[in-house]
Structure 1
């Protein structure tokens, strides 16, 4: 007797069993969602297409020499980012690539760097990242590729592995005017800071994780190494940033504008506030200009030489949108270890703003989580108005008209001191604004004493005990008390219960929609992502260590607001001195009267109630 199937035993025939359709395998998109359109027909590969790009040469080098099989998106990018002009020079001098994490950015940069120094012959490739360790890991991967290649290994002249000075040096023969010349090329690494690249003349600059550049210091130091080069390329690779990613945000906006502004980010009004937070404290009544004003125009790129290639999920899509996954992760499915299941697991377990930034390459405004009621921080932002020339500007009603108080805070790495001011608007509501963020502490003295700023400052404060900024507050206090010092701004201590009271009042003002502020990226991100520390009595304070974006910009604003709204305690006058008493009267008084005991002799029975 034939064995009975499990379906038959349960009363269900095989014919009635539902058929589950198998989901087709998810493959990442080859083309980015947003990109600078090419000037020539670059695909499919043909002799005509090869004449307009160096990309196909790099692809052949990767596959035939390095034995690296590039993903479709990497090949597409190389072909388009290395497009040539009529005169044979590279079309782009700056290329920005936006793509989700773990999709192969490092491999792409390694292949390009090795082709540049081993084949094309540019003298110097300079690789950078926000921390030196990351840059060195990418560099080490490139060194491994060369050492494992039968064709490239003989070209190695020297590999310097000293920490902080790592370099790969290649010596190759180049035929020029029927003569053979030995040429040395190098691939060095540096940390992305204000000193990076100074003293070097670079040709290919690799900037990894440009999203971490929260000011223009490193960008200015590194990219200016290419200024004297006829041929050079700056390649910036990054995941999506947030509101503090000032360099990437600026370049992305320019790239989107060149691509037709598909997401509408060029008309959002975000450009109202300069990315460099050094806004000065000038009002319409200030006559003096700040000589140290930093203008974003200084870093303006030539739109014709900037290429943007962005693999990202479309705005507004569900975080479960598989099409968005494929658009932001072009390596999914092509890389055996990177599957749809990997993304699904992250989507299920990550906080939404983390998943969207890291896996969908979507920009976070820092509004999904934070210490305030949902949406109230954004409701307190001032809306810009169009000026006479059509440019956006701060509305007259959104300006501080009163004198101001100053709040200071310092980042946990002691890299920056943030200065905020607080004052009252014409409508009577309080307003806070970041006015400066600079390296070190010494600048704060002159900044507050400069011109008409000093006339408006009532006092300054910052956490006076237990914080990074406490030493600065002590120095300011000592300078104020020194008669020989020109600094005369009153400095008030802020410590103990005043800290938690100040934060409580700040939270109440935000949640009750009484506090106004401009749209300023560092303050917005710090305020909307701060993690609170709860004390035993229930009081709270922003926790610098636990907050993903730090709390220094926020605490500078809280300090200024506390000083503006605090209730000043007035000490009661001392009691008047006792009336003069003649010595003869004291001698005639009883012992109890002389002791001021009101006639009580010490016997409790004599006291009336």
Structure 2
């Protein structure tokens, strides 16, 4: 049974083929051979058992991703793999799952018995997660009518379980491959030896990631594959994982590739269990550059036709083409309300509210009520403003009491919140009952507060400490027209902007209702004990 072929394909200019080697990748610790990588065995399994010849890039990835430690365990615990759409990742995952089930599940019986070996496949929805499962099941379903199956595998397999959230392939040895939607509850349950997170770019919060990754902690030699094309401003999990892995790649190049440290010296001081393998076009390339296209599409000239690329190039909006085909990050398809570069220029890691400054608290909640953010604003010693998010948690019930505690520690009673049209209006009454002075931001103030926040950023009169929760909101936050005003758009923004709205309202309350305190020129820095009150 063959899942891919290359016959009859028209080639790219000059018979250009997709690149076998990714543009960005984590370097191996040693020369990769059949003794130091299980990838060679997987490739042989695909050829001999499945009758499938993998593409060069798929072979390369298996060899590098399945690098072994000296004790035979996997070097990588988590893998972040990025590649352009429709390049054959489902085929790759199918081969990998079959190998894990029928070969690898019995590799360390003294640590993990086959009956305890579980592969968990997840994605943002069950249909996506089930694509690789369906392909895998086609090879091994013991149903006599399954003519496409492999007898060697079928003879070792029980009838699959279908539906009711328990869809799974079951081996007679007890090993299983189960699929679930990636959500807060989807990954909870039995410990998983292997995890596949498909379309990782669609994970817009860490609920599913936290749930799924914790299933691996109690299993010996566990491994997670997160695979996707490039993300956008909402892809917080993929961005976080990629940023950490890319920093490690750069550190390796800085110290090991230059000879400053040996591999052994570097390995003794750094975590080497996260791998990055990214087939993507280089930053700043022209979107029609054939070499850039080939770098992001390793199956070009095999299953992907050059004419298909040209059609997409002609019909796709540029941000779509760069994300889907060139595997490049496009953080916004629209202009953000506040320039992220201007915001970044106002970062001051030492910025803080002066001890004798008035403080105003701001609070806002996501449009879907999923997260609530609490921020503060105050004056610095130099008279400029400082904003900071000091609390964030899921839901809303926790916020009033938490805000009261923050207010008491800050020596303030002022809390700014939107007056209408947002879930946060539900805070007004309980905050007032707690004795706090609620500054209700409504009507024309919605536009003027947003405008003044932008003015402060552009004028360089507000500072922050570069918190990811605020930086991300700025990077994808847009406004909408309300009358003749621009107001924050919670629904239309590429990210959750409730965090920056809470900071915005805190700053607005400070500007409208407070005056900067007079700072004595004779107060020496560090004279007073003023630890962070949040």
Q: TM-score range by the shorter chain?
A: 0.7 to 0.9
Match of 2:140 among 118, 137, 146: 146
Change (3 A) 1:496 1:160: farther
**1:386 paired residue number:** none
Change (3 A) 1:511 1:133: farther
**2:344 paired residue number:** 378
Report the Cα distance in structure 1 between the residues aligned to 2:490 and 2:182, rounded to whole angstroms: 23
Which deviations, in whole Å up to 9, do the C-alpha atoms of 1:453-489 show, x marking residues without a partner?
A: 6334442233232223333x24xx23532xxxxx333
Q: CA deviation at 1:423?
A: 2.0
Q: CA deviation at 1:110?
A: 2.4
Kept in 1: contact 2:340–2:474 (CA 8 A) = no
**1:575 paired residue number:** none
Change (3 A) 1:143 1:491: farther
Change (3 A) 1:552 1:345: farther
**2:280 paired residue number:** 312
Kept in 2: contact 1:54–1:84 (CA 8 A) = yes
Q: Gaps (5+ residues) in structure 2?
A: 1-11, 106-113, 142-147, 255-268, 515-534
**2:522 paired residue number:** none
Q: Gaps (5+ residues) in structure 1?
A: 1-21, 43-48, 172-182, 265-300, 384-393, 482-486, 569-609
Which deviations, in whole Å up to 9, do the C-alpha atoms of 1:415-464 show, x marking residues without a partner?
A: 21122222222222223222332111122133223368633444223323
2:45 matches 1:61: yes
2:393 matches 1:438: yes
Q: How does 1:483-498 map to 2 (within 5 A)?
A: 487-498=434-445
Q: CA deviation at 1:167?
A: 1.9
Report the Cα distance in structure 2 between the residues aligned to 1:319 and 1:39, rounded to whole angstroms: 35
Kept in 2: contact 1:420–1:556 (CA 8 A) = yes
2:481 matches 1:541: no
**2:245 paired residue number:** 255
Change (3 A) 1:243 1:478: same
Which deviations, in whole Å up to 9, do the C-alpha atoms of 1:373-398 show, x marking residues without a partner?
A: 6843333x314xxxxxxxxxx22xx2
**2:8 paired residue number:** none
Report the Cα distance in structure 2 between the residues aligned to 1:106 and 1:400, rounded to whole angstroms: 52
Report the Cα distance in structure 2 between the residues aligned to 1:359 and 1:523, rounded to whole angstroms: 30
2:499 matches 1:553: yes
Report the Cα distance in structure 2 between the residues aligned to 1:103 and 1:520, rounded to whole angstroms: 36
Relative contact order (C-alpha < 8 Å, sep 6+): which is higher? 2
Report the Cα distance in structure 1 between the residues aligned to 2:459 and 2:251, rounded to whole angstroms: 36
Q: How many residues align?
A: 470
Kept in 1: contact 2:234–2:494 (CA 8 A) = no
Kept in 1: contact 2:233–2:475 (CA 8 A) = no
**1:419 paired residue number:** 374
Q: CA deviation at 1:126?
A: 0.8
Which deviations, in whole Å up to 9, do the C-alpha atoms of 1:570-596 show, x marking residues without a partner?
A: xxxxxxxxxxxxxxxxxxxxxxxxxxx
Q: CA deviation at 1:405?
A: 1.9
2:57 matches 1:73: yes
TM-score (norm 2): 0.78
**2:463 paired residue number:** 516
Match of 1:85 among 69, 73, 77: 69
Kept in 2: contact 1:502–1:562 (CA 8 A) = yes
Match of 1:480 among 432, 454, 461: 432
Q: CA deviation at 1:341?
A: 4.3
Kept in 2: contact 1:65–1:149 (CA 8 A) = no
Report the Cα distance in structure 2 between the residues aligned to 1:520 and 1:349, rounded to whole angstroms: 38
Instruction: Report the RMSD for the aligned CA atoms in angstroms.
Output: 3.1
Change (3 A) 1:254 1:524: closer
2:449 matches 1:449: no
Kept in 1: contact 2:280–2:296 (CA 8 A) = yes
Kept in 2: contact 1:244–1:522 (CA 8 A) = no
Structure with larger Rg:
1
